Structures are given as structure tokens and as C-alpha cells.
Amino acid sequence: MSTHRRLSGAVALGLSAVLTGAFAAPTFAAPAEAAAGAAVPAAPAVPAGEAAEGQSFHRLATLPAYENQLAADPEADPSAPTVAEISTVTADGNTVIHTDAEAGGIGFVDITDPENPQAAGFKATDGSPTSVYATEAFIIVVTDTSEDFTHPTGKVEFWDPETLELIHGVELKGQPDSIDVSPDGTTAMIAMENQRDEDREDVDGGLPQLPAGELAVIDLSAEDITALTAEAIQYTDLTGLAGLDTPEDPEPEYIKFSPDGTKAALTLQENNGVVILDAATGEVIDHFSAGAVSVEGIDTAEDGNLSLDGSITDAVREPDAIGWIGNDHVATANEGDWKGGSRGWTVFNADPESAEFGDVVWDAGNSFENLAHRYGQFPEHRAENKGAEPEGLTVETYGDTTYAFVGSERGNFVAVYNVDDPSNPVFTQLMPSTNGPEGLLAIPERNLMVVSSEEDDAEVGVRATVQVFELGDGPAAVPTLKSADATGPAATEGQPITWSALGALSAVPGEADKLYAAPDDFLSPSRIYTVDTTTADDGGPATIEAELALEHGYDIEGLWADADGTFWLAVEGTAITDGEVGSEGNRLVHVDAEGQELASVDLPAEVAAGLKGQGLEGVTGYGSGEDAVLYTAVQREAAGEDFARIGRFTVATGEWEWFGYSLESTDVEGDWIGLSEITAVDGDTLAVIERDKLNGPDAALKKVFTVEVPEAGAATGAAAEEVPVLEKTEAIDVLPQLQDLNGWTQEKLEGLAIAGNGNVYAATDNDGVEDATGETVFLNLGPAAEHFPTDPTDPTDPEPVVDFTDNQPGSVYYAPVRWMQAAGVTTGYTDGTYRKAAEITRGESVAFLQRYLAPDYTTDPADEDTPVFPDVPAGAPHFTPIAWAADDSDGANGAGPVSEGYADGTFRPGQDVTRAEFVTFLYRAADPEGFTAPEVSVFPDVPSSGSYYEAISWAAAEGLVNGYHGGEYRPYDPISRGEVAKVMHQYGVAQEG
């Protein structure tokens, strides 16, 4: 905090409206203490593996799979289905090849520059590719050519990695799934699944369904691969293995060679088995059942509640992918396919010579699912099935550290673990991905990790991609938000606060670094979360540290926290009470600190009638309690209108006023532009998010604009012809910051707030991980002062003198108002008026004073000596002038503070300032020397016992104020803007001589 002008009686004093409890009339009771339910507990210690230190895999780039189609054929339809499932890399580490079963071929991605991968084309294969592996000599692709389940067929193709031309193809005996090649490149093994028909009625989609699957072994050491024949391919019979579910139909799934090349591990998914094979002969060495596990503390109900009170009992693991940790242990991703799935992954002893062969060394239990919840990426729509569904897995050593990468097919992330000790994997980070991350490709020679994702649906904006990550120093830029451990009697150790679909933000009154956040109707009952932004200061994610469960479920699209401990919600038309869904219309809902509903305010019928499927998309305000004034945004144009609406609701009167907002246009088919958030910058400046409906590379508009709203009475009705359209100013283009995270650019930029520390924060809604990547982006956009500078349309902001349209020569206020302009106190309103008869708020009057008397006064919200009222947090309207008025440091103003606020600690900046309060503030700031109030009052309604008596007497003695015709002063009447101008003008001219 700094001061630049000491005030004294000799200094011209500007207008102030800082009310102190000493002369507040009438007396107001202090607000009740916030209920215990709203208390914010201390944040727990950062869980292991989430600390912002050491090395992380940093996301460098995301390339849509359809780009390969366009690279091969510029006329191709980019919306046509195309996927990136299993991937491999050429021997030089520069070209990634991925299978594309939808398009029927393999795609190529040049990663020579990993930060700027380039689509390098596409090659059609004979049949649908199921797996691919690149050696120095070949790109080997296995394809499914089956016409039905009972007659499975396939093919293995050999492509030249230099020319990308097909060299040779050989028929296989059945339908292949995965392929792996020995470390020395001499042997390929193919898991020949001959997959089951899940709709086959005679076995209810289960097993057995012949022909049985087997293992194919190909010798790659021949000089001329074109000499390879179908007869030369060796097949290993896998039937009859004891202890499996259906040994006559093994269902081989995933094959992987050990690092030393002596063994290979093969999963038999539906049979819940793992087979260890001799790498040289392809013969079975031994096998074991993956067993069953019971898991508690998981979400097993698709009820929109994210409750971790469910369990699965004796669930068979049914592993999909498998990887070696050293040469004696294997890790499996326990996806489940027929009867099971354990929602986690497991490490087994895989040494056939050991007495513990097949024993579980470590199991994830519920910890993998907990990660999905901790980072807001749990797929609630899959809770009753397989949850986050771990499917892909790979293990690789980078430098001296061995990592296991486990992909969540439905949660759209890859969890990374340090597995130097196979019996104690340590979670190190979560890598958000696009939908269905099945291909996990480690390239340790270049410190790279490539994730290919298989889900693709252009209609809903879900596209398959290839993503590149790089191991490097420091914490990764993503994820940007996580939750701490849950607390309370029902929480178990390590259980996270569950969250998702955040679409609303609000500052926390009185807290510098905290925000409130709320989800839409994805969750019921609704929650309000407390977010600690300080955990992101060193590059890690911000942390949800507490949650408040509300009484009902609402479609919350906006949130504003009142300094009295209550919350206002902007609800987009849907309420859920006792599990019943009802459309109660767009409305504002007021809830208390314990989440109980206090009041509901419907939109005016004439406004609501035209909204149809659109609704409220944010709420903000200033003031507190009955003095609060709220603003809310309507997402899109109502029927018959060419503007969106911003509504102003005055709590004390229950009156609505409406303003228009002109939206940008779009010519993209299926796109539309709308508002998605609103937040107050100051008493008459609002910031709104305006965005399109596009994501990924198509995203074009994700911006914050500001508008200036006139005083009450400027908008007179709800009819379209009565709604004044506000002028907007671009403040922040958020799109570049979303793109800088190098992921899939999110569509729903929906949360915006200015925290007490003065920074602007934004968040994206992840749609509950349904038809979306599920990644939540939480951004610190920087200081509000840099984005929302002094606004020339703010009536308290200084600008050059310009005659106001309502201040013409001849008026008693003409000279005072002109002086106010010249003194840099005001520039009036956007319509060119000054509005002399309008009342002035406490916040505005303080701004007048500070701008005239101490224009260079600054504040530092981080300074513990900065005066802060709970209803005027840093970044709030007129924060600096109010801090100045309360400042009692030497040289700040007069002999002491101009105001210390009310007895309850509030300032109430939106409340009108009275005639008594105004001159008292002026008197205190002037600190005149030697003045003694007369024994007899000048005004009959100003008793000498009153706390404001001395100030009013001084103002009268200085000729600054006069009484009314009856002689009264009327100390409790509001003072008008014209009267303020006269008082300041007379004082200023007198002092300036």
C-alpha cells in the first residue's frame, strides 16, 4: 500500500461516502455468524505423487486423427469417422503409425518436431487393422478380415517404413487382436482372439464360442519376408489350461515380450487368465488365474450423486493390456469384458521358477477410481458398469526410473506411476487425454510418450487424436484442478472430494485466494465447492478443499457469494427435489450458508416466455443482504429479439430491469454464440463470457467482454422496444490460453470470477465426461487491473471535461459539475448525462473523494495492513477508494480513517450515502485545525449531541452546506449527485484560492 498526498484542511477535498458505525443511523444489527456448514477446513497435505517437484510428462501437442485423411486426400470429409487406436513408432523415433479401424487402414504422424506433429498420410489395409508394430525392417499390421464370428479370418501385412508401400501379406488362421515383437526383432507373436459374439443367444453372449483362439508365432529373421507363407506361421494351442473359466475357448487378448526377450506374457481376458510363454518356441511355460477382488468405496450407481459408498464383490479382474515390470513381474489393466473388471490394475509375480508365481504383489483397489474422482474425470454414466475402465497399459524405463502408464478408457486419462518397486507403485501424475486412450506408446529414447485415442463422433465434437507428451523438469501444466481428501464421519482414508461439471465461479468474500465453484445439474443434490488457488502458484493444480451440499439439486449456471454468508444461484430451469425432476423455470435462488433454500425469484413472465430452450447463464452482484443488487445473463436471444439480455434485480424492491447485449455472429453450421457467465468488475461495469459452441481446432470465440450499465431507472421495462442495448468492449481473449495447454481446446468456457487477490479466474465445464474429454481447465488470467483498466464510462473515473447533455449553462449545478470534470472526479454516464438528481452510493462517493484528494493512492491486496471489508474484497467495485477511506496509516488521509465501516464490519458500498455522512467524511478527511463547534446548532434537526454535529457545523461555517427553506438540514436524507458537486466545488475552489 502506498500514499502520495497527505490531507489537511488546506487541501481541497473530494466527495466521500465512507460510513462509520459512529454516525450510522439507524443502527443495524451485525449479520449472524456463518453456519458451521459453510466453514472451510484446512487443506490436507498434498497426496503423494501430486507435489510440484521432480519431473513430469508435459503435454506438447494434440493432433486430430482426421488430419491424416486430409493429408492423404485434401478432398476427404473431415467429419467422417476415423480413429487412432494402437500405435507404434519407426526405428528412428520420428514417425508414429496408428491403426484406424474406422477408415480401414493406418495413419502416419511425423513427430520429428514433437511440439508440432504433422499429419503424414494414410494407407488402406486389407481388412480392419487391430494392431501395428514397427521394426527397423518393417511396419507389421494385423487385420481382421472376418465376415462373421463363426468363420474368423485375418491377415498380417508387411509395409516398408521408408516408402510406406505394402511389401507382403499373409493370411492368418483366425481373427487377430494384438501383436508384439521380441526385443531383438526376430520374432513376432500375435494374439489370435477369435472374439465372441456378444449377441449370440444360445450362450447369452458368453463362452464358449468356437473356434478357439490361439497364439501365432512368426519368424522375422528370414532375409526375404516375401517368402513367408501361411504354412510357415506357427500356432500355439491355448486350450485346456486348468483353472480358467472356459478353457476350451481361451480368448487371447494382449501379448507382450519381457525386457530380456526370454518370455512373453499373454492375457486371456474373458477367461481371466495370464499365460507365460517361451519367447524362443512360443510354447506355454505356465499360467495363472488373475483372480477376483472385492472393492469398496466406489460409485456404482448412475444417480448423479458421485457417492463413494458402493462396492463390487468377488469381481474377476479380466485383464486386457499387460506389461512387464522387469523380467519377473507383470502389470495388468483389469478392464473386464464379460463377467468382471476390477476398476483398477494389478501387479503379479510372473516368475515361473518362483513359489509365488501368479501371486498378487500389489493391487490398486479403489485408488484408480479415486484418481478419476480427484481430478473430476469420473464417467458417472458408466458407474453401474465398469467405471473409469482401465484398458491400456504399458511399462517403460526413462533414465533410471521405470514408469507404468495406465489408461482410463471411459475417464479419458492416463495415470502414471513410478514402479521401481513393483510391490509399491507410487502415483506421480495424471495425464488428461481425449476420449478412449487405448494406445499408449513409450518412446524413452526421446523422452516422449504418445497417447492415441479411439473414440470419434464428429456430431458431438468428440474426435480421435494422437497426443505427444515429453518427460521434463517441473510440474505439468495439466491437470489444472484437483480435489483434496474428503472429510467427515463418512469419509474413508484417501477418499477424495468428488466433483465434475463445474460451470460457475464466485469470489469468497473476505478471502484473498479462495473461490467458490458449483456444478450444473450433472450433480444432485447440488454442491458448492471451495477452491484454494494458492496450490497452483508453483505450477500445480488448484485444489478443491471443501464442499457444501445443498438441500436440492439445481441446474446451477451462475453463483454469487454474498458477504452475509448466503449464496445466490442462477438456475437454468430445472430443479431436482427428492429425486424428482421438475422444470420450474429460469430463476434466481437464494440459499443460506448450510445450503437450505431461502427464496426463489422467477423471471418476469414476459421475459421467460421467449427463452424457450435458453436460460440464465450467470449471476453476480454487489452490496450485501437487502442492499444487494444482482445481475444475471441470459444465454441467447429470446424469440423475436436480436440481442441477449442482462437483467438487474434489486433485492430490496424485488424489481427487474433489462439491458440488451449484441452477440457476435457465426456462419459455421451447427454453431451458435451465447453468453455463459457474468461477473461484476465494479458497481457499473460487468464482465461477461461470450463463446461459441465449437471445440478442438474449430474453436474460434472464447472471449471476455465488458459492458457499462447505467443507474437504476435507465431501463424501464421488459418489452424488447424498451430494452437499451449496451456497448461492449473486448477485455480478454481466452482462446490462446486454452490452446496453450496443447490439448483438445474445450468448448464450454463457463466460469469467471475476480478473487480477493485481484486476479481473474476462469474455468471450463467438462460436461460430466459425457460426449466430452472430461478435462476441466482452470485458468488464472492475471490481474483484473490489467484486463479491466479504468473505464471512461464509469461516473467516478476521471477524463477530460465534456459538457453533459443534462448539464447546460444556466443550471445552478453547471459550474460545480464542470469543476468536477476538470478535477478528474467524473466523466458521467455512457449516454452523456451526469444525472444531478440521482442519489449517490457510498462506494461512488468514496471514489470521488479519493480521486480528487489522493489520485496516486494504491493498494496491495497481499499486504495484511490493507483495510478490507468482507463485502468489499480485493477486485470489488471501488476497492481502492474504500481502502483509502479506512486507512489510518500516517499520511493516508487527515488525522485518521475517514470511515471504519459499520459495527458489523461491513462497508455496504451500494447503500446511498446521507447528507450527514457525506459532510462527516469530508470533515474527517480535511481535518481542519482549530475548529470548534458552536454550542447552539445551526439547524433545528441537528442536535449538538449527535456524532455528526461537529462535521455539519463545520460544513455550514465553511459555507459548504445550507439548510432547506424550513431551516432543517435533514441529515438522514440521501444526498444527490448535484449536491455533492456543489459541496466539492465550493470546498475545492476555496482551498485552491
User: 99-139 pLDDT, tens per residue?
Assistant: 999 999 999 999 999 999 999 999 999 999 999 999 999 99
pLDDT given for residue 374 in this prediction:
99
The model's confidence at residue 866, banded by pLDDT at 50, 70 and 90, is low
Q: Please name every residue paired with 779 in a beta bridge, in sequence order, or none if there are none.
A: 762
482-787: which CATH topology?
Neuraminidase (2.120.10)
Lowest mean pLDDT among 203-212, 886-895, 910-919, 944-953: 886-895
The model's confidence at residue 717, banded by pLDDT at 50, 70 and 90, is low
Q: Please name every residue paired with 98 in a beta bridge, in sequence order, or none if there are none.
A: 87, 107
Q: 3-class DSSP state for residue 882?
A: helix
What's 496's DSSP letter? B
pLDDT given for residue 235 in this prediction:
99
pLDDT given for residue 8 in this prediction:
28
Give me the amino acid identity at 744: W
pLDDT given for residue 867 in this prediction:
63
20-29, 46-55, 203-212, range with greatest mean pLDDT: 203-212
Residue ranges of the chain assigned to CATH 2.120.10: 482-787
pLDDT given for residue 781 in this prediction:
96
The model's confidence at residue 42, banded by pLDDT at 50, 70 and 90, is very low
Share of the chain above pLDDT 70, in %: 89
**Residue 928: closest CA among 868, 856, 977, 987:** 987
Mean pLDDT of 694-701: 98
What's the angle, vertex CA 552, arms to CA 751 and CA 593, rounded to 5?
70
**Residue 926: closest CA among 991, 989, 878, 978:** 991
What's 603's DSSP letter? P
pLDDT given for residue 20 in this prediction:
25
pLDDT given for residue 667 in this prediction:
96
pLDDT given for residue 47 in this prediction:
41
pLDDT given for residue 53 in this prediction:
55
Q: Is residue 29 over pLDDT 50? A: no
pLDDT given for residue 328 in this prediction:
99
The answer to whether the bond into 519 is cis (omega within 30° of 0) is no
Cα–Cα distance, 382 to 441 (Å, whole number): 26
The model's confidence at residue 27, banded by pLDDT at 50, 70 and 90, is very low
pLDDT given for residue 623 in this prediction:
84
pLDDT given for residue 758 in this prediction:
87
The pairing of beta strand 481-483 with beta strand 542-549: parallel
Lowest mean pLDDT among 343-352, 951-960, 962-971: 962-971
Give the chain's length.
993
The model's confidence at residue 36, banded by pLDDT at 50, 70 and 90, is very low
Tens of pLDDT, residue by residue over 254-307, are 999 999 999 999 999 999 999 999 999 999 999 999 999 999 999 999 999 999
Cα–Cα distance, 660 to 666 (Å, whole number): 19
pLDDT given for residue 892 in this prediction:
61
Average pLDDT, the chain: 89
Q: Is residue 14 over pLDDT 70? A: no
The pairing of beta strand 644-650 with beta strand 284-289: unpaired
Tens of pLDDT, residue by residue over 556-568, are 999 999 989 999 9
Cα–Cα distance, 204 to 443 (Å, whole number): 42
Tens of pLDDT, residue by residue over 248-267, are 999 999 999 999 999 999 99
pLDDT given for residue 993 in this prediction:
62
Mean pLDDT of 757-761: 92
- Measure Cα distances from 67 to 359, 746, 785 in Å: 45, 19, 41
Q: Is residue 642 over pLDDT 80? A: yes
The answer to whether the bond into 934 is cis (omega within 30° of 0) is no
Cα–Cα distance, 240 to 271 (Å, whole number): 11
The answer to whether the beta carbons of residues 901 and 911 sit under 8 Å apart is no
Contacts of the segment 645-650: beta carbons below 8 A, 24+ positions apart:
645/607, 645/723, 646/678, 646/686, 646/688, 646/707, 646/709, 646/726, 647/603, 647/607, 648/709, 648/712, 648/715, 649/588, 649/601, 650/712
Q: Is residue 966 over pLDDT 90? A: no
The answer to whether the beta carbons of residues 449 and 470 sit under 8 Å apart is yes
Q: Is residue 805 over pLDDT 80? A: no
The model's confidence at residue 743, banded by pLDDT at 50, 70 and 90, is very high
Number of Cβ atoms within 10 Å of the Cβ of 864 = 8
Q: What are the DSSP calls for 795-855, one per residue?
A: TTS-------TT--TTSTTHHHHHHHHHTTS----TTS---TTSB-BHHHHHHHHHHHH-T
Of residues 720 and 671, the one with the higher pLDDT is 671
Share of the chain above pLDDT 90, in %: 72
860-864, 893-897, 905-909, range with greatest mean pLDDT: 905-909
Of residues 446 and 512, the one with the higher pLDDT is 446
Mean pLDDT of 153-175: 98
Lowest mean pLDDT among 16-25, 392-401, 829-838, 933-942: 16-25
Cα–Cα distance, 615 to 162 (Å, whole number): 56
- Measure Cα distances from 859 to 14, 881, 906 in Å: 19, 9, 19
